[in-house]
Amino acid sequence: MTLTDYLYYVILPVLAFSVLLIVYRFIKGPSIADKIIALDVLITTGIGIIGVYSIIHGKSTFLDTAMILALIAFLSTVAFSYYLEKRNRKK
């Protein structure tokens, strides 16, 4: 079993299964904070999947996408929590 086969048939299904679990929490989440956390972890897992894909295909340019995704994840969490606090303060 080569490295590519191992990554393709073992690692990626496990990562996809964890994405499914996170999506379950994203849909169910009792409060809106849970949904925001699930979104953050979803993007973090996406960075991991992009890293594994860049090993499989041998192309390092995929890592630029991962960098931009990390930036967007941080920015979206900050914006969501800022507006949640602000909405709460008005009442």
Residues that bind other proteins (CB under 8 A): 3, 6-7, 11, 14-15, 17-19, 21-22, 24-25, 30-34, 36-38, 40-41, 44-45, 47-48, 51-52, 54-55, 60, 63-64, 66-67, 70-71, 73-74, 77-78, 80-82, 84-85, 88-89
Are 50 and 69 a contacting pair, CB within 8 Å?
Answer: yes
Residue whose C-alpha is closest to residue 46's, from 18, 24, 74, 26: 18
What one-character DSSP code corresponds to residue 58? T
Q: How far is the CB of 52 from other proteins (least distance, A)?
A: 6
Least distance from other proteins to the Cβ atom of residue 61, Å: 9
Could you count the other beta carbons within 10 Å of the beta carbon of residue 22?
19
